Structure formats: structure tokens, C-alpha cells
Structure 1
């Protein structure tokens, strides 16, 4: 795939219409009546919440971008691509959809760039198989011929669309069709006529941080654990409707006396619940509970950040790539993600609500210390947290040390 400079001069496209010339509306799903939905104007983080849900169900959203919010595009998750969906996008936007990838995924396909995202066009219109093959490396398909890569600036709707599909825990690539010949003042009316949710690119980019401040401390209960009988669980509900984060308070930690011993643990269904030997997550979870208990008390934050926050489905895809020879870092970047997508704003907000500002952090990951400190938590000390490897996770742990800087 060869890279081209971003010197496009898009011409105005045809007005959005359906194949028979009538105004186009998104295809109704099977769980709602036929016909356009009532238009609801959502703004700010609420709009991003709804856009995430829409993409996860295979729908379309409109993204406003540019310094003056004068650019508009229709977007969908690429892994949801069907012939019908792509035809719908073309009819609504008046232009052919293009595939937008992260720079990590583009680099795997042979197009190095410093731009945050890359648009891919074929010599002919993208078809569904090409979209899926380029988006999903687990399909092990040959790269289609005639690809052209066009870098996308950070302030474009295309770059925002990639960020949005990441938030939706889909593969980090999007279908984007630019809407031409429309003014900023008429965008809302245009979207209303087509029953499309409009979301602003800036709100998407700020979402990870601002959504953390909307965590609700919803409920607490005493839950004796096998390794820590004096234990209380507090659930924090995200206002986006996502999975709850949980604080596990062990013993009687007192933040007024000194820094609290804490562990930040990302949820791992395979390791924590099923006892997977591919990682050390289960050992780290149960070991942390024992160590905090033995130390006299502390807090374990159990965050809903499966697979370094790429989601369970994408983690299983990464495992497939590891079985084909990739290490844990290359598997994530081949999919198009960064090697670690986690952010620690939720952890910092949970600690704030629990009245904890100074901590002794149980971790082998120096980056976790730096990121938590950047979120306003004073990390007084790193407490090592090391467990023996097995024949299934030796390479995984060695990669974390050699490529991600973990200290063992």
C-alpha cells in the first residue's frame, strides 16, 4: 500500500438520496417499527454515549469536525460492513465510503505515516470483503491490489471516527463517507431529515477523560472473600451505561494515617474467572488480595478494561494472532490498537470518591505509576507484584519486560 500526500480537493457530491430518488433514511432494525426514528438532539458526552451504542448495533452516525465544525461525514464500524450498509452510506452522504485505519494498522499493510489515521481507497469502489480483509488481520487475507493511503489529520471526522469505534470496543477501523455541499448552519436539519445522531469530533477526543468524572458511586456491601474476610465492595456506575468498575476495600485502610496500599487490576475474564494460563492476571488478582490483607488493609480497584481496554472480542482476536506467531505487543498493533489502550482517569476518580489521594501502588508497570500520577494521584512508592511464570505465559511475561518496560 503506497502513501499519498493529503492534497485532496473534494468536489461537491450529489444530494443524499435513496436508490429510488427519495430522501434516504437509515435501515430500521428488527427491534423497532419501520420508518424513521424520532430525531433526538443529543449534545456533549450524551451524544458520544449514544453514538457508541449506535455503532455497536451496526448503525450509522454523523460526525462534525473542523475548527468551525463545518465538515460532516457519515461513519460506521468497519467490522459491521455489509453491502446494504455501504450502499446506505453512499446514498445518504452522496459519496462513496472509504475505509479509515489507525496508523498502526496502516503500517502493517505497508503505509508508514505519522498521521493518527489513514484513509484507504481502492482503484475501484471498496467492497465488503476488501473492507473486512483490511480491517481484520485474523482473516489472513492477501492485501488487495491498487490501494492508495491518504493521511488524515487529527481534527478530521475520519480520525474521530476511528477513536469512536475504539470506544465502542470494535476493531479500530471505520467506514467514513464525506457529506459535500452542506453548510454548518444546515447540518442539524440535514441530520434530522435522515434520523442520524450528530456527534462532534472534539467531544469524542475528550470522552475518555470527561466520562470518568461522571462515575456514580452506586452501592456498597460487605463481601467476605476467601483470602480477606473483612472486605467491602463498592460499585461505580459509568453514566454511559457501560460495565461497572468495582473498588474492593480490604481491612481498614486509613488515608489520614498514610498512603494507602492499592492495586489497579484490569478485568480479565479468561484469567480471573477461568484460570487461563496465557496470562498472569488470575495470579495477580488473588495474590493482590492476599498481600493487601497481610499488609493490614488497602484497596484493589477492579476496572472494566478487558484486554488492556480493547475488549474481550478483540482480546480473543489478539490471542489468535499470537497463536500465529505474534507476541502480545505485535498482536495488538497488528489489529490497529496501541500496545496498551488503558487510561487511568476512572481509577483516579474512584480513589477521589473514596477519599484517597496518596498511594503505595502495587505494580510491575512503571507506566501505570506515571499515568496515575498524571491523573492527580500521588504515588509514594511502587510495590513489586511478581508471580512465577508457566510454560504458557513465559513469552507473554518476557515480552512485557522487554518491550513494555515491566519490572520483574
Structure 2
């Protein structure tokens, strides 16, 4: 009987202890609680009430957006993404010294990143993208040696990219896109041997691309919409860069010829070099990139025509070669790449007529733009069979003949341009 009473007493004490712990945090967690309550006090708008249960009367590890370590119950992750919060990031967050993940993306935070966050030496990922943060990118990021992912994109950060970012040896993903950054790309970025994704698009960067960047095993490079100059190295696809899947250098001031050695990047799926000052001929070797889905090289100063080998790209979905001074005929194999959704060869000097005795296989085609060329002959009959076509632009050519009644077959068509030709009939 005594044993039963002892057992009941023990269970009651254990239950009291659990309930007590749910309200009063362990002594080593009070620092985290204080820091997070201070953070909450700097939030001026919480439209969905996500922070309502952030209170000293509830256990910190049960708060919305908070994750804790199992052993010591210290806060290790803070995920407030897509909460539409408005406010500033207070310095008190630097007291969350066990934090490994910080995600404030897709909110309305403004102001600077406080230097006290340099204390977060255990941080492995930081995402504050899609906010209104400003000021210079802190140089102390270079001291956060555990960082794997650093995403500061879509803010208003200004100034130069800190040289210290080249010291984060474990970094795998760096996204500084769509800010107001200027100056050169630091050469030290080329020392980040673990880097796989590098996005700097939509800034005001100048100078040439450091050659060291092409010597690390990157899978995606996106430097579009800057003012970068210089030429691409002939050995751009050396043994380190062979695994790259996406290369976007469009809307810059790059010049010289497109290296024919690009064919060594056999895993390339997206290649965009549009709107630069590339010249010379389009390399025939691009036709060897058999995994390519997007080939966008329009807006350059090429000589010669479209290589016949482009028709070998059986996985191609987007072909954009507009406004590039191209001459000669359109290689007929292109019209048999069944995966194509967009063909834009407009504003060139392409000539000749469409072969009429060939089989055309474009079941997924949504946009065909051959406008502003020198094409002759009649509108090819295969055009009227593209049931998925949404945009057809054959304007400003020298096409003759009439418009087929089968135009009514194009039930998905939204835009039709046939003006400035020599068409006749009804």
C-alpha cells in the first residue's frame, strides 16, 4: 500500500515538474526568451497574428516559427518567412547564440542588419531576401564560417560586395541579386570551392568577371542585368565547371566571340547570353549541348547564319536569337524539335522561303516570331496546324499569297501579326 502511495506521489511530482517547465523556461533559455520578446517589440505590423503566442506565459520552444535543440532547449531556428511582418531587426537577436537558421524572407523589414548578429557564429543559413533592408552588406559576414546559404536578394543594399565574403569557405549558395550593389565582383569569390549557386543579377556591377569564378564547381551562375564587360575565357568549361546547369550573363556589356568550348559544359540546361556585344559566328558546337532547354543569345552582333546543328537540341524549349544581325535561311531541323515552346528569330536578316515538303513536329509551340526579316514565299501550311499556338508574328517580311481559311484551327491564338507583307486575296 505504501508503494502505491509513493508511486502516485512521484507521478504527481513529475506532472507538476512538466507543467512548471512549460511556463518557466530553464535558466539558460531566458536569454533567448528576452531576445525574442525584444524582437517582437520592434514589429510594427503583424497582420495575421503569427506572433500572438510569443509570450512569457508559454514555453519559448512552442512559439510559432521557433525551433529548439532537443538536448539543451536553446533556440536554433527562426523561420518567419512570408508572414507580411513590418519592422526592423533589433540588435538583441545577436544573443541567440545557438541559432543555426534565420529566415525572414518575403516580409517588409527595413533598416540595417545590426552588427550584433556577428555573434551568431553557429549560423548555417540566413535568408532575408524580399524585404526593404538597406545599407552596405556587413563585412562581418566573412566571420560566420559555418554559413552554407546566404540570401540577401531583393532588398536595397548598396555599396560594394565585401571582400570578406570570399572567406566563408563552407558557402554553397550566395544570392545578392536585385540590390543596388556596384563596383567589381571580388576575386575572392573564386576561392569558395564549395559554392554551387552564385546569383548577382540586377545590380550595377562593373568590370570583368574574375576568371577564378570559372574554376569552381558551380552549378548555376546568374550575373544578368549588370554592366559587366570583357570577354569570356576560351577554357570557360574546364574540368571544374563541367557540371554547370545554368549560365545567365544576359543584359551586360560583354564582348568577343562565344567560346566554342562551351560544348564541354555538357550538363547545361539554360544558356542566356542575350543583349551583350558578342560578335563573330554562333558556334556550331552549341548543337552538342543535348540537355539544353533554353538557348537565348539574341541582341548581339553576330555574323553569318544559324548553325544547322541547333536542330540537334532535342530537349530545347526556348530558342531566342532575335536582333542579332543573322543572315541566311532558317535551318529546317529546328521545326522538328518537338519540345520547343518559343521560337523567336525576329529582327534579323534571315531570307529564303519555308520548305513545303517536310514534316513539321512542334506540338508544344506557343510562340512563333519570325517578324522583321526578309522571308519570301507563302505562309507555310504547317503554321495552321499548331493548335497550341498563342502568338504568331510573321509581320514585316516579303511573304506572298493568301491567308488560309485554316487560321480558324488556331483555337489558342491570342496575337496574330501578318502586316507589312505582300499578302493578297480575302
TM-score (norm 2): 0.21
Please state which structure has a larger fraction of its residues in strand: 2
Please state which structure has a larger fraction of its residues in helix: 1
Structure exhibiting the larger radius of gyration computed from Cα positions: 2
Query: Comparing both chains, which one has the higher relative contact order based on Cα–Cα distances under 8 Å and sequence gaps of 6 or more?
Result: 1
TM-score (norm 1): 0.22
